[in-house]
Structures are given as C-alpha cells and as structure tokens.
Amino acid sequence: MSLAFILTVAVNGFTEANELRPSAEDDREAMEEVAVLGRQINLNGEAISASQGEVGPTEIGAWPLNRTGDLMEFVPGMVATQHSGSGKANQYFLRGFNLDHGTDFATFVDGMPVNLRTHGHGQGYTDLNFVIPETVQRLRYRKGPYYAEVGDFSSAGSAQFVLAETLPRGLAELSFGEHGYRRAVVADSLTVSSSDVMLAAEWQGYDGPWTDIQESVHKLNLLGKVSSDLAGGRGHLAFMGYDNRWNSPDQIPARAVTQGIIDAYGSLDTTLGGNTQRYSLSGGWMGAVAAGELAVSAYAIDYGFTLWSNFTYALDFPDQGDQFQQRDDRRVYGFEAAQVWQRAAASWTLGLQGRRDDIDQVGLYRTVARKVMGTVREDQVVEDSLGLFAVNQYRWTDTLRSYLGLRYDHYDFSVNAGLAQNSGQRSDGKASLKASLAWQPWPVSEFYLSYGQGLHSNDARGTVIQVDPVSAETVDAVDPLVESCGLELGSRLFVTDQLHATLALWQLALDSELLFVGDAGNTEASRPSDRQGVEAGLYWFASEEISGELEFSYTDAQFADSDPAGNEIPGAIPLVASAAINYSADSGWFASLHLRHFGAYPLLEDGAVESAGSSLVNLRFGRDLRRWRLQLDLLNALNSNDHDVDYFYASRLPGEDPAGVEDLHYHIFEPRTLRASLRYQF
C-alpha cells in the first residue's frame, strides 16, 4: 500500500472524530457545548455497555497532570505510572493487566493508532507524548472487547482522543516549577477561506529531582489541522510533529538504597536515556452518501526510537555491565472506511481497516555508556493487517435494543533477521463475535449484557523465531494472534444532569498473557489467564461551580493453568480507587483535588512477594482574570514516597554472587513539586 494511495483515499477524519457543522461559528458553538458536557452526557439509549463514556476539555483541563500520559487516567480504573525517564511511554494498568506500555489496550489519536506492533521496547508500545493536552477536544473510552470497530490490543479496552478543530480562544501559556521544569505552549484557531485552521506548539524542559543525573528533557510538539466543509460533508487534514530527548532515572534495586550505595532518587547507571521522533500526516472525510453516512480516513507516520536501559547492572557482563540499546525505525500506513445505513428501527455499519508497519530496523544491542559493543539481534519487518467488521443495531421496543457485531482480522508477518534461521513469513486470521443487549425499563436507568471476543497480535519476530539469538538454543515460535473472550453485566443510572452512576461486573479470559522480562526490558508470551472484577463510578455535578467523582474497581486475576510456580499474575493490581473534586466560581477562582490509590499486587507467581501499593494526591488552585489565568499545581501534595511501579527479579551489583540477587526493583514517586503557570487568552 503506497502513501499516494492513502492520501488519495482520505481527505478527512474517521467515524466519531468530528460532527458535521455548517460553519465556523457553529463549530465554535459545538466545541463550547462539548466542553460543558463531557461526563455529564446522558448515554442511556445510546451506549452498548456500562463501561464506555466520554470526557470533555473542561474536565481534562481541570486536573493537574504530571506527564502527558496521565490523560489515560480519565479512563475509570486506569493507572498511568512511570519506571524510567519522563520522555518514555508511561506504564499502564487496567482491569488486572499490567499493560506494560500499552498491550491489550488500544489507543487512537484522531483515528491514528498509537500502539506500535513489533516495537523495539515492547509489543503495543503506546507513547502519548506527541499529544498537546490543550488541543484535546474529547476522550472516548470503551472497556472490554465488545466493540466490533476495534481489533488489535483491545481486550482490556480502547481510548479515542479527538483533537479540536477550533478553540473558543487562542492561548499562550508559560509554566515554571521545581527541579528545572519549564513549559511553553501556544495554540490558536482561525478561519481562512471558509476553512478552520488550528495551530499549536509545545516545548518542555525538565531536569527532575534525581541526585546523580539531570533528565535534561527537551520535548517539542507541533500541530497543524485544517478542517472544512467538503463535498457535502466535513473533512480535515492534520500534521503532527514530535521530537524528544531525555536521560533516564530507571528503576533501582531496594538493596542498593538500604546499603547506602545510592539514595531513593539515585541511579546505578547514569548514562541511560533515549530519544523519539514522530511525524504524521492524517486526514479524513465524513458525510452523507448512498442514503447513509460514509466516513473515510488515512494516515502516514514516520517514527524513530532509541532507548538505553540497564535493569540487571552486572549480571550478564560483570566487566562491561548489562546496559543495552533498543532501536525502532519505521513507517506506518493505514486507512479506514465505514458506511452506516439507518432503516427504521435498524442501523447497519460495514467497515474496512488496513495497516502496514514497514520497519526498517528493530534491534537490540549491547552497549557501554551508550556506545554499541555488539549486536544481539537486528531485523527488518513488514507487518500487514486487514480488518473487516459489520455491525447491526436494532431497537426491538421502546426499552430494548441489541448490538451484534462480527469482525475478521488477517495478519501477514515477514521478518528478515540478522540470523538467517530467524527469518521467515507467517500469516494468521481470527474471527470475533460481539453482542450486547440494552434494556431501559425506566428513563433514568439502563441495564446491559455484553459479550465479546478479542485479540492481540504478538511480536512478528516471535512468530517465526527458531533460535535464541543469545544462547543459540532452539526455541518455539509463538502464536501470531492471541484470543480473548469477555462477558459483562452492567447498569447505568442517570438520575438528573447532576447525578449519575455506573456499575459493571465483568470477566475476561486470555489465551496467553504477556509479561515483563527484566533482563531484556521486554515482554514475552506466557500462560493463559482468567480475570473477573467489579467496577463502579459515581459522578456528581452539584452546581455549575462544584463537581466531583468517585471511581472504584476490584479485579481477581489468575493464571488459568496449573503450574508449580503459582497462579498469581505479576503486576496484576487488584484494587484501584480514585476521587476528584473540582471548583470553579463566577468570580474566576478555581481549584481541584485528585486522589489516586492502587492496592498491593503480586510480583511473583506464588504471591510470596508483593508491591505495597501507593497513593497519590495532586492539587490545583488559581484564578481567571479577564484574559489572564494564574495557576498553581502541587503534585504529590502529601509528599508520598510510595512507588510508581515495582518488579521482583535478579540483578547483580559489583562484588555480589555471579548468579545475582533476587530483589525488589522500584521507581519512587517524584517528591512534592510546585509548578506555576501564567496563561493569556486572545
């Protein structure tokens, strides 16, 4: 599939990415309406499960964010943490999954997939640092594998970030904070020859609180988006550019701190870090065609990634150390087309999605102080996928609706490996059934029964591998596609615009778990697993000035087979709770508080070692004065020394037993930090 073909297919966005608006003035009014609603939208009569929802820009703008990836925490039950430098993708946890950097949760920005297949660092790698938070119009989330429109990586759910076409006002903002934090962002929209043009830029620098390194973050983001009425519909074309460089304060062994070798903010290897570049061109169009609505979109992404890590220190190479480099250099091309027909009580959707990951280089190298000393493996990969889906939604009575979806995904893997035995081609395909019933016996409440089959793709290199590139031992290839199956019983209560709630009981079976491997900094296919849990959310909009929310989730996650090692899933968080309260007065004063807690979770299969869990409180306080805004963010307001993430594995410090020492490895919360921002709106 060529770039020329993709750009010919698309002039603008994907289904749900934009609503039809006849003029720039109406566009601004629609933007303001969405900003007012967000979580207040009544989804009774529309949703197909209790586990889907929407967040608007007012809510997104109310919470203090430590990192861009924290945007994912607007998905109820989601935890976004970090075990390395702030330039790297976040670590995500949801529904008893340690999602690593994104596996089993599909993420999209303006219709473009963020998850990267066969990535140099981890399967499904999801880095949101290229998004400018001020440009996000809405976030739509859907948990569980019940939606035919989403395929790969969506067993735990999916999120769609929609970027604004226009802003109510332009803005220029400067932020400064402790530990060398500084940020500048400017964004504005204008009308040029009946087209809406959105322009935004962001620069961020940060040194961090670490005692022996400076993160030296240098992040730059650019966005340009043109939207216009076109051929009876609405189209857009967008360019995004992202460049980031940083040093990494990686996870550290607990014994190094207790022995006084370093403190909790120290590092054992001070030459770690990385850089990422991402440039994309995307577009789409949506409008009335053939007695229905057609949406087409396409994208082209140019991506480069280099990361230096060292998780085991001197376990494998006592003289040189265990530092390694991971590289990824690729182009990603894709398209989507979906046609919707409405006939009385029934609607039909037929869609086609295609994607190619053309990976020039995905490699793993042994390094010392970022200097390459040897190649572990270096491959070229071409991975193609084609997904076809069909959906029927039918309203049987005034109170009963059904959703029936069928999806088929086909994958082709082609690997040209540095080691000839590990080269090869492989194909696989899977059909998935999705079905839901929605019953609304009263206007204020709706009940759902949802079922879905899902999948995630495995790293293409693992599907054709024959020989371990390090040990030279014969190894078994993994299945290209891993199936999942989920079931959910849920309810949604919408008492008034001021109070609504959700409740869901769910379970999910996965044919093969992906687990983190400490000495490789990667994930590998593991055993089948079962999960079941309960989630609840309460959302309160007391007045135009005060709102609050409370979310709770509990998951029981176990390996499904028998093994002497045990049945606990390392990294599966059982308990997640969050609460927030927001205040915004007519006088211009505003404030917010956000609390996130996750409980203890197993680090070994037998449950003998557990993480202690953590709690984090962030505060925001400020005032709007005409066109000016002064804002103070207090991150980790209680100065907690809890951990962002914990692992348990073997590593070796100088002088220790050559076999290494099994130990807790962790990344501590950054200490209480004050940041101030001054914004001018024009």
CA 431 – CA 412 distance, rounded (Å)? 15
* pLDDT exceeds cutoff 70 at 60: yes
pLDDT tens-digit readout, 390-441: 999 999 999 999 999 999 999 999 999 988 999 999 999 999 999 999 999 9
DSSP states of 481-521: EEEEEEEEEEEEEEEETTEEEEEEEEEEEESS-EEEETTTT
Q: Tens digit of pLDDT for each residue in 482-493?
A: 999 999 999 999
**What is the C-alpha separation between 306 and 249, in angstroms, rounded?**
16
DSSP assignment of 169-191 equals S-EEEEEEETTTEEEEEEEEEEE
> For residues 128 and 250, what is the distance between their CA atoms, to the nearest angstrom?
19
Give yes or no for residue 523 having a pLDDT over 70: no
E strand or H helix at 376: strand 371-395
Average the pLDDT over each of 9-18, 323-332, 671-680 and give the range with the smallest value. Answer: 9-18
Specify the pTM: 0.92
| Model confidence band, residue 12 (pLDDT cutoffs 50, 70, 90) | very low
Structure tokens at 100: 């690593």
Question: Look-up: residue for tokens 């400076």?
Answer: 214
> Largest Cα–Cα distance of the chain, in whole Å?
76
Q: Residue 313 gets which letter from DSSP?
A: B
| Residues paired with 553 in a beta bridge | 535, 576
Q: Which residue has the tokens 């030296």?
A: 216
Yes or no: say if 281 and 6 are a contact pair by the CB < 8 Å rule.
no
pLDDT tier at 83, thresholds 50, 70, 90: confident
Q: What's the confidence (pLDDT) of residue 20?
A: 31
pLDDT at 515: 64
SS3 199: strand
Provide the pLDDT for residue 7: 36
* For range 261-289, the mean pLDDT: 96
Q: pLDDT at position 469, please? A: 86
Please check the confidence at residue 547 and state whether its pLDDT lies above 80: yes
pLDDT at 290: 76
Q: Which amino acid, residue 377? A: R
**Per-residue pLDDT for 543 more than 60?**
yes
Q: How many CB atoms lie within 10 A of CB 542?
A: 12
Residues 564-574, mean pLDDT to the nearest whole number? 94
DSSP-derived pairing of the beta strands 136-143 and 445-457: unpaired
